[in-house]
Amino acid sequence: MRISSQFVQQLKHTLNIVEVAGNFLKLTRKGKNYFALCPFHTEKTPSFSINEQLQSYHCFGCGKGGDVIQLVMELENLTYSEAIHFLADLAHLRVPALDPAEEKRYRDREHLQTVMAEASKFYQRCLKDPEGAGARDYLDGRQIEPGTVQRFMLGFAPGDGQRLVSYLRGLGIREALAQQAGLARVSEVTQRSYDLFRSRLIVPIQDMHGRVIAFGGRILGEGEPKYLNSPETPLYQKGYHLFGLGHALKAIRQADLAILVEGYFDMIVPFQAGVENVVASLGTGLTPAQVKLLGRFTRNIVICFDPDAAGANAAFRSVELFLENEFDCRVATLPGGHDPDTFVLKHGADSFREAVKQSLPFLDFQLHHKLQAAGADLSVERKVKILESMFPFLARIQQEPVRSKYLAGWADRLGIHRDALFNQYNTFARSRKVDKSAVAQYSQSPLTAAETELINFVLHFPEMAPKIFSGVAVTFEGLATSNILTCIAQQVQEGESFRLAEIEDTLTEADRTLLHQVMSRTTTVVSETEAVNCLLSLHQRSLEKELERLTAECQQAEQSGDMDRCRGILERRKRIIMQLNK
């Protein structure tokens, strides 16, 4: 039979749609209504409105609307009867009988949840038993505190292969149900059920409401695979969940920021240390559903993946989805080859917070990563590959001034004439290719466009040199024209007017040759504002080179065990990153 309309009305009167929606969305009150970013379409300005008086919602962007039941159906992908049961649980009400088919579907799901809850209790008890000593030693070695073990319901799966199946059987749970829950498999030889997880540390995976829906198992000792995860089940589709979200939700809302990491312990250890707005991607490539899930609570994300090549590539793949959904996406890098887990244990929560705070916008991180990989080999071919890999990300930025700012910076750092690079981007937008011959023709190695334009501006307007250089604390280390620009800055900052002859007298023969090379180049004289931008761009380029050098030094210091030197280098890195983010 159908659910009575009287019960549905009782349910609606018992619940407040604002309180229910607040479990899923970050709400802001404006006047009589509450607003949030719509969970059903991508937007930057909240147009999703909840009217508490009418107990209804409506999105002025996509047009979706309804009551609290419809809202839960849409957000949780539930049927009508499943949404009724979900809300009844919140309201502590008992649902009258459903029609047989719906009743069976709901009961089957409820039985699976019971099985997973009982399995979690079993694994937690086994961790405390003598046979769980190896797992406890492993957790002690990773500095996981008892309170964290309890909070995340960590457990241990014994190694004989029949313990969980036998335990569930003793509770009256059929083996077929254990198999459906992804806890057991059937042997092809004996046709008997056996435990999926054996001799493993168990990490329960919960949905955002705290219900156990799957498990991850970490091998103890030798063996493969290192991590074994539950298969997909009616309760668990891995591309729709994020590890730790239920724990992190409050902190994400408060900070309006989520930190995305890769592994279970990359989430657990920072959380234990007090950095609670952290979630993990469950060891898979990030999916649109996971991005949409995060987007309910914040549009600000910092990706903090492992620093190896695989981690960087995973960050690149993730960012594309975030950019498509108009997130403000940044990337944090941890020095010394650390992942979030080991970094927090070694350097503490405050250092991790600082690394997150000093994270770089994705496109800056991407170019830095590719230039670091290129090293001294910044050939035309390498430049073409870099541009072809980065232009697609740039194209996802809708604001033209922002794109132009990036292109100007790339031109300076890649040594390509700015106008030529702008033309190449427009060409790529049409053909998806970069013209190698044009890049070769307009490459200006070792001089960047910013160096040439800044020096030419000062040569054409010497009276403007004091205005450009005075009172500006910049460094030109690592630039081809470092000595030239330093001499100009020193002359001006000592209260003198710019005089080319005196500058030339202080330069080496090689630098004088380079200065004449700059003077001989035919280039449009830039404006005063553009000259200042050139100065700032060169300063940033120099700081980034210094950052690369300090990162290498920090790794060497850590490998040699010189932690005092390593801490000093980290402080210098911190100051440089703060300057880069100004």
Could you read off the pLDDT tens digit of each residue along the chain, which spans 582 residues? Answer: 467 788 888 899 899 999 999 989 989 999 999 999 999 888 888 999 999 999 999 999 999 999 999 999 999 878 888 898 889 988 888 888 666 776 777 788 889 999 999 999 999 999 999 999 999 999 999 999 999 999 999 999 999 999 999 999 999 999 999 999 999 999 988 889 999 999 999 999 999 889 999 999 999 988 889 999 999 999 998 888 999 999 999 899 889 999 999 899 999 999 999 999 999 988 667 888 899 889 888 989 999 976 665 656 666 677 878 887 888 899 998 877 789 999 999 999 999 999 999 888 888 888 877 877 776 567 788 889 999 989 998 888 877 888 888 888 888 778 787 778 888 999 898 898 898 888 877 665 556 778 888 888 888 888 888 888 876 666 777 677 888 888 888 888 777 677 888 888 888 776 787 787 777 665 667 788 888 888 888 888 778 777 777 877 777 777 777 888 888 888 888 887 777 666
416-446 burial, b at 16+ Cβ within 10 Å, e below that, comes to bbbebbbebbeebeeeeebbeebbeebbbee
Look at residue 543 and give its three-state secondary structure: helix
Lookup result for tokens 């979630």: 279
8 Å CB contact between 288 and 309: no
Q: Distance (Å, rounded) from C-alpha 509 to C-alpha 447? A: 17
205's tokens? 């995976």
Q: What's the full length of the chain, in residues? A: 582
Phi (first) and psi of residue 59, to 5 degrees? -105, 120
* Residues contacting 353, CB < 8 A, separation 6+: 275
Residue 79, CB-side half-sphere exposure with 13 Å CA sphere: 10
8 Å CB contact between 34 and 45: no
Q: Distance (Å, rounded) from C-alpha 400 to C-alpha 426? A: 12
Phi (first) and psi of residue 218, to 5 degrees? -100, 125
Alpha-carbon torsion (11, 12, 13, 14), positive or negative: positive
Phi (first) and psi of residue 446, to 5 degrees? -90, 0
CB-count burial class (<10 Å; 0-12, 13-18, 19+) for 560: exposed
CA-based max dimension of the chain: 98
553's tokens? 């030094």
